[in-house]
A = this chain, B = another copy of it.
Amino acid sequence: MNNFEYQNPTKIIFGKDTIEKLENEIPQDAKVLLLYGGGSIKKNGIYDQVKTALSKVKVIEFGGIPANPEYAKLMEALQVIKDEDITYLLAVGGGSVIDGTKFLSAAALYEGDTPWDILTQNIRTEKGMPFGTVLTLPATGSEMNSGSVITRAETKEKLAMGGPGLFPKFSILDPQVIISIPERQLANGITDAFTHVLEQYMTYPIGALLQDRFAESILQTLIEVAPKVLADPTDYKAASNFMWSCTMALNGLIQKGVPTDWAVHAMGHELTALFGIDHARTLAVIAPSHYKYNFDTKKEKLAQYAERVWNITEGSIDDKAYAAIDKTEAFFHQLGIATKLSDYTEDYEGTAEEIAKRFKARKWMGLGEHQTLSPDRVEKIVKMTY
């Protein structure tokens, strides 16, 4: 097991009818900017619940934050924060709204030239404007971590940021919110959380027995509840386990003391930037090819995953490892998620070369847990997804 440090101060308020508890979490003297996305919260009743709970504090609203939160749009929100002397941010949404809010939390107190530097110069935020979240879509885990990914449309870039100042003060997780989520987004959420676990688990054995079992626990639970969540989002048992699994998949716990990969995300982000493919679907496109290409360095963990998560106990390590990749791909298909780039675009020729070029330009010369995934290798993996 590697040495590690772990601290996660976010307060989780989990369960049925918990949105009303918002009232106790935001200081009475705060001036709140309520941030949300495309407006679905006004149709499904969440907006009304939030407004009722906030009736005693001053609230300004800022809607329209898109999936893959857009820099230009967020800069409009930043102007509102400054013009209105906002002191507290509240994200009501999924990972995109929460990630956008984290960027604003950092940008509101940033003293450099332009907030764009936070993204391009990897500036860690030690202290941000305080913010809370009401999660409306289980998927990214952003509600209990300090990381964020921001997109800039004009340059087709998707860049990560974070820091210990960017943990939400609180996050309210009411699993009942999934009732109004379209099936497509539920499938995305399951795929996103599942791949988050894989990124922190599918590397090589390092003797972190408990972390491995926790990771496998999340994968097993997602596999168990996925068909139930899709068939009947009012199934509270399935919904609550889905929601808590998504949070635990990326709140930092299972990555402590172990090597992590994250190359699937690095490649997937480019597919979203280039083609606008849903984030989760890009992960499902990249992951199987990535595991096949890096088979030799990952096969021990692939075989462990085969045995413990998929109950594949027959055959050699290689047999089990291959079977596990097939099972993973079949799981995505079962969710209605296609796993080839050519399923999403006819315009895929040249994509691998373009992504390799971008990685070279960013000097990302060695991704993955061994830092050996060069742009040339990335090119080969992306070609396998055509």
Contacts and interface: CB of A to CB of B under 8 A. Distances in A.
Interface stretch (A35-43, A71-79, A207-215, A278-286): A207-215
A257 B221 CA distance: 15
Contact of A248 (B16, B210, B224, B225): B210
A130 to B, nearest CB: 15
Interface in A133-174: none
Nearest to A244: B210
Nearest to A211: B244
B14 A6 contact: yes
Contacts of A13: 5
> Which 5 A-B pairs rank lowest in CB-CB distance, beginning with the nearest?
A3-B15, A213-B217, A7-B11, A207-B237, A9-B9
A49 interface: no
Contact of A1 (B210, B218, B220, B244): B244
A6 B15 contact: no
B6 A257 contact: no
Contacts of A217: 210, 213-214, 216-217
A240 interface: yes
Given A213-B220, A241-B210, A11 B5 contact: yes
A131 to B, nearest CB: 16
Interface in A357-372: none
A207 B6 contact: no
A10 interface: yes
Interface string A216-251: 111011001100000000001100110011001000
B5 A240 contact: no
A14 B257 contact: yes
A2 B12 CA distance: 13
Contacts of A2: 15
Contacts of A225: 209
A14 B211 CA distance: 14
Nearest to A215: B217
Contacts of A209: 221, 224-225, 237, 241
19 contacts: A1-B237, A2-B15, A3-B14, A3-B15, A4-B15, A5-B12, A6-B11, A6-B12, A9-B9, A14-B256, A14-B257, A207-B241, A209-B225, A210-B218, A210-B244, A210-B245, A213-B217, A213-B220, A213-B221
